Amino acid sequence: MQCGIDLVALRPSLLDDLGRVGVVSHQACATLDGRPATDVVFAGCREAKGSRVTAVFGPQHGYRQCEQDNMVETPDERYTFRSSGQTAVGDTTADVSVPLYSLYSERREPSPEQMEQVDTLVVDLPDIGCRIYTFMLTLAACLRAANRSGKRVVVLDRPNPLGLSWQGKADSKWRRVEGNILDTKWHSFVGWYPIPLRHGLTLGELGNLFVRMDDLKQVVYSVVKVEGLRRKDSMRTMLRAGYASSFPFASPNMPSWNSALYFPAFVVLEATNVSEGRGTTIPFQLVGAPYLDAQGCIGHLRQRQARNRASAHASFNGVAMAEHHFRTTFNKHAGNISRGVRFSPTFQLPFFSRRDSSVGGEEDEEEEEEDANVFALGMHFLHYVVSRHADAFKWRDPKQGYEYNFEDPPLLLILGHERWWNLFEGLRTGAKKSEDGESERELDACLQWAYDEAQRFAVESTHAHLYP
C-alpha cells in the first residue's frame, strides 16, 4: 500500500503541467521513509515538466503543528527549501523561500490575492475519518477558492485510519459509518456539511463529495489515489502494509492510531468538564474527571456492552476498559488527579503478515472485522456521567467559544442535532429520570436513529468512492 505522496516520490511526472503550485500540508505529512511531503512535492516539481512550488499553506495548529487548542490562530511566515534537503521556517538565506500562509487565522481559505500566486493547490493532509476534524474543511475551503478562480486542486490521498465504509453481503448493512447526519443549522468549523460523525471516506473521496454538495463546476479536481487500498481493508491489513508505522502525528493531540480510533467516541467531551485526555500522552484513549466513579462507570459500560452485543446500532464490541487515574499537565483539571477509564481495542494487531511464507499459511479472503461502534461507546459513557454525577458535571460555557461560536452549546456543534441536547440536558436537570429506564430507552432510540442516518449517508455517498 502506497500513499499519494509516496507515488509522487517515485513518479514525479504525476506533477507534470501543474504550473505554479501551492502545497497545502503540515510537517507530519511524510513519505513512508519520513521525507516531508512539502519537500517531496517541491523536489518532484523540479523534476516534472511545467511545475514549480510558489507557496505553502498550513492548516489548524500551524504548519509546524505547535498550537494545542482550537481558536489559536497562526501567522503567515516563510518556508525555505534548501538544496541540502533541509528546510526551515523563517529562514530566508537558503536556496528558495516562498510564502507560508496560514489557513487558520482571520481567514480559513486562500484569499483571492493568494490564489493569484498559484495555478494548482496540491493537498496532503491527514484526515482521521471523523467530522469533528478541521482538515476536511480546509480542503473544502481550498476547493471553493479554486472554483472561484478556475484553478486546479490535486489531493494526494491517504488511508482513512478508521477504515472505509463497505457493505456487508449477508445483511446489506454498511460498516464503519456512525453517528447522525449534521443538521447544518449547527454548522461551524468542526461541522459544515450534512455528514455523519464517522464518515468512512478518504480525504480524496470527501473532495468528490464537497464538489457535488457545493456544485463546484469551475474547479478542476483530481486525486492521486492510494495504491492497493480496498474498502474492506481492516486495520490489520493497513498495519501489515506498513501504513501504521508511518501514522502521521496528525495534530498535537492525535499522536497515534488508537487516539484516532477513539476520537469519534470522546470528542464529545470537549463540550463538558470531563477530560478527554488532553494533557496526557494518550488523549482520547484516557478520559475522566476528579469526580468520576471509574469502577462504577466500567461496570455500567460492560453491562451495556454485553447486552447490546448483537445490536449494530448500540454495540461496542472489541473494546477493553480499565480504571486508570491520571494527572493532566494542561487543559481540564490541570495539576489535579482525575479518576479515569482507559480504552483499548481487544483485537490483536500482528507483528508479521500471515502472507509471509516464513510463517506459513495464507490470509483468509474475509478479514475479521473490528466491529466496535465507537460513537455508541461515547454516548453510553456520557449518559453514565451525566446521570450519576449530575451535581458535578457541567457543560462547557458557550461564552468560552468553540470554533468561533460564542452563543450555542458546544454539544450541539459537535453532535449536530437537538435530540442529543434534549436527552443529556434533560438528564442533567432531572427532567428525564435514569432510575425508571426512561432515559436509557431514549438513548437507545437516539442511537437507532443515528445508525439509520449513517446508513442513509453511506448509500448516498457511493458516488464519491474511489476504491473498490
- Bridge partners, 123 (sequence order): 24, 155
Name the burial class of residue 129, with classes exposed (0-12), middle (13-18) and buried (19+) by CB atoms within 10 angstroms of its CB: buried
Distances (CA, A) of 221 to 15, 207, 310, 464: 14, 8, 42, 12
User: For residue 292, what are the CA distances in angstroms to 249, 339, 398?
Assistant: 30, 6, 23
The pLDDT of residue 250 is: 83
CATH says 257-345+370-459 is which class? alpha beta
Distance CA 233, CA 228 (A): 10
The three grid cell numbers given for residue 165, joined into one nine-digit string: 465504509
State the pairing for strand pair 319-327/120-123: unpaired
> Any idea of the CA torsion for 452, 453, 455, 458, to the nearest 10 degrees?
180
Cell of 57: 499553506
235-281 pLDDT per residue, tens: 777 766 766 555 778 888 898 889 999 999 999 999 999 999 999 99
In this prediction, residue 86 carries a pLDDT of: 47
> What's residue 87's pLDDT?
52
Strand partners, 287: 341
Look up the CATH number of domain 4-251.
3.40.50.12170
With a cut of 50, list the residues of the chain below it in pLDDT.
Answer: 85-86, 92-93, 350-369
Distance in angstroms (rounded) separating the CA atoms of residues 339 and 291: 7
Ranges of each domain in the chain: 4-251, 257-345+370-459
Burial class (CB in 10 A: 0-12, 13-18, 19+), 40: buried
Position 237 scores a pLDDT of 74
